[in-house]
């Protein structure tokens, strides 16, 4: 729960306090150990979860534009918008 919510220190303290008050929950010593571990390793844990949730390809760059036809053989095709999207994909971590 702590890692998936990426809790800040205030959220962590509230969460652990609630866990210590819950029937069959954790002790205050266990809460202190968990809080210290989270403070020291929060960034590494968060990055690991992001890397595990990414698939093979990731979006590296994206360009887009909207074009309008100004000339056409048929009058009903003039000013018809066309969206052009260019996406650059790459392997995760490269």
CB 22 within 8 A of CB 50: no
CB 54 within 8 A of CB 42: no
Percent of the chain with pLDDT over 90: 50
Q: What is the pTM of this model?
A: 0.54
1-27: pLDDT as tens digits: 898 888 999 999 999 999 999 998 899
> Would you say residue 78 has pLDDT above 90?
no
> Would you say residue 47 has pLDDT above 90?
no
The per-residue DSSP string of 5-38 comes to HT--HHHHHHHHHHHHHSTT---HHHHHHHHHHH
Q: How confident is the model at residue 30 (pLDDT cuts 50, 70, 90)?
A: very high
pLDDT of residue 94: 61
Six-digit token pair at 63? 């360009």
């Amino acid at each position: 729960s702590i890692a998936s919510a990426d809790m800040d220190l205030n959220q962590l303290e509230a969460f652990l306090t609630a866990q210590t008050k819950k029937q069959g929950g954790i002790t205050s010593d266990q809460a202190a150990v968990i809080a210290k571990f989270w403070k020291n390793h929060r960034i590494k844990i968060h990055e690991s979860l992001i890397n595990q949730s990414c698939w093979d390809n990731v979006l590296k760059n994206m360009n887009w534009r909207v074009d309008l036809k100004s000339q056409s053989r048929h009058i009903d095709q003039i000013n018809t918008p066309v969206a052009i999207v260019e996406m650059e994909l790459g392997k995760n971590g490269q």
